[in-house]
Structure 1
Amino acid sequence: MAVSYMDYTSPNAQFTYDLKNNNIFTKDSRNLINALGIQQLNTLGNVSLLDIYLSTGNVVEPHIHQNASELVYCISGAAVVSLINPFTKQLLNFPIAPGQVANIPQGWWHYEIATVDNTHLLAIFDAPVPEVILGSDLLRLTPASVYAHTYCLDEATWKAAVAPITNSVFIGPPVGCANNQVAGAAAAPQHAGYHHGQTAGAMAGPSNAGVPYPQQPYAHREHPAYGYPQFPGSGPHGGWGYGHYNG
Structure 2
Amino acid sequence: MAVSYMDFTSPSVRFTFDLNNNQFFKKDNRNYINALSVNQLNTLGNVSLLDIFLSTGNVVEPHIHQNASELVYCISGAAIVSLINPFTKELRNFPIQPGQVANVPQGWWHYEMATADNTHLLAIFDAPIPEFIPASDMLRLTPANVFAHTYCLNEAKVKDTLAPITNTVVIGPPSDCAPEQGHNKRAAAPAYPNQAHYYQGQGHVQRQTFAPPQQQPYIGNGWGYGY
TM range (shorter): 0.7 to 0.9
Number of the residue aligned with 2:212 = none
Superposition pairs of residues 158-197 of structure 1, within 5 angstroms: 158-179=158-179, 186-187=196-197, 190-191=198-199, 194-195=201-202
Number of the residue aligned with 1:136 = 136
Number of the residue aligned with 2:87 = 87
SS in 1 for 2:73: strand
SS in 2 for 1:140: helix
Number of the residue aligned with 2:13 = 13
Native 8 Å contact 1:75 1:122 kept in 2? yes
* Runs of 5+ consecutive residues of structure 2 not aligned to the other structure: 185-194, 208-216
For residue 199 of structure 1, report the CA deviation from its aligned partner. Answer: 8.7
Which runs of at least 4 in structure 1 moved beyond 3 Å after TM superposition? 179-183, 198-202, 232-235, 237-243
Native 8 Å contact 2:61 2:112 kept in 1? yes
Native 8 Å contact 1:78 1:116 kept in 2? yes
Native 8 Å contact 1:76 1:98 kept in 2? yes
Native 8 Å contact 1:24 1:242 kept in 2? no
Native 8 Å contact 2:71 2:102 kept in 1? yes
Number of the residue aligned with 1:44 = 44
Count of residues in correspondence between the two structures:
207
Verify: 1:156 aligned to 2:156, yes or no. yes
Superposition pairs of residues 19-168 of structure 1, within 5 angstroms: 19-168=19-168
Native 8 Å contact 2:131 2:225 kept in 1? no
SS in 1 for 2:145: helix
For residue 200 of structure 1, report the CA deviation from its aligned partner. Answer: 6.1
Native 8 Å contact 2:130 2:223 kept in 1? no
Instruction: Tell me, in whole angstroms, the C-alpha distance in 2 between the residues paired with 1:182 and 1:124.
Output: 36
SS in 2 for 1:39: coil
**Residues 102, 233 of structure 1: alpha-carbon distance in 2 compared, 3 angstrom cutoff:** closer
Native 8 Å contact 1:93 1:199 kept in 2? no
Instruction: Tell me, in whole angstroms, the C-alpha distance in 1 between the residues paired with 2:110 and 2:96.
Output: 15
**Residues 199, 41 of structure 1: alpha-carbon distance in 2 compared, 3 angstrom cutoff:** farther
* Runs of 5+ consecutive residues of structure 1 not aligned to the other structure: 203-231
For residue 147 of structure 1, report the CA deviation from its aligned partner. Answer: 0.3
Native 8 Å contact 2:24 2:223 kept in 1? no
What is the root-mean-square deviation of aligned Cα atoms in Å? Answer: 2.7
Instruction: Tell me, in whole angstroms, the C-alpha distance in 2 between the residues paired with 1:121 and 1:242.
Output: 21
For residue 9 of structure 1, report the CA deviation from its aligned partner. Answer: 1.2
Instruction: Tell me, in whole angstroms, the C-alpha distance in 1 between the residues paired with 2:73 and 2:218.
Output: 30
**Residues 239, 86 of structure 1: alpha-carbon distance in 2 compared, 3 angstrom cutoff:** closer
Amino acid at match of 2:33: I
Instruction: Tell me, in whole angstroms, the C-alpha distance in 1 between the residues paired with 2:141 and 2:223.
Output: 24
**1:88-121 deviation digits (Å, cap 9, x = unpaired):** 0000000000000000000000000000000000
**Residues 234, 179 of structure 1: alpha-carbon distance in 2 compared, 3 angstrom cutoff:** same
**Residues 131, 63 of structure 1: alpha-carbon distance in 2 compared, 3 angstrom cutoff:** same
Q: Give the structure with the larger helix fraction.
A: 1
Calculate percent identity across the aligned residue pairs: 69
**Residues 200, 85 of structure 1: alpha-carbon distance in 2 compared, 3 angstrom cutoff:** farther
**Residues 109, 199 of structure 1: alpha-carbon distance in 2 compared, 3 angstrom cutoff:** farther
**Residues 239, 80 of structure 1: alpha-carbon distance in 2 compared, 3 angstrom cutoff:** closer
Q: Give the structure with the larger strand fraction.
A: 2
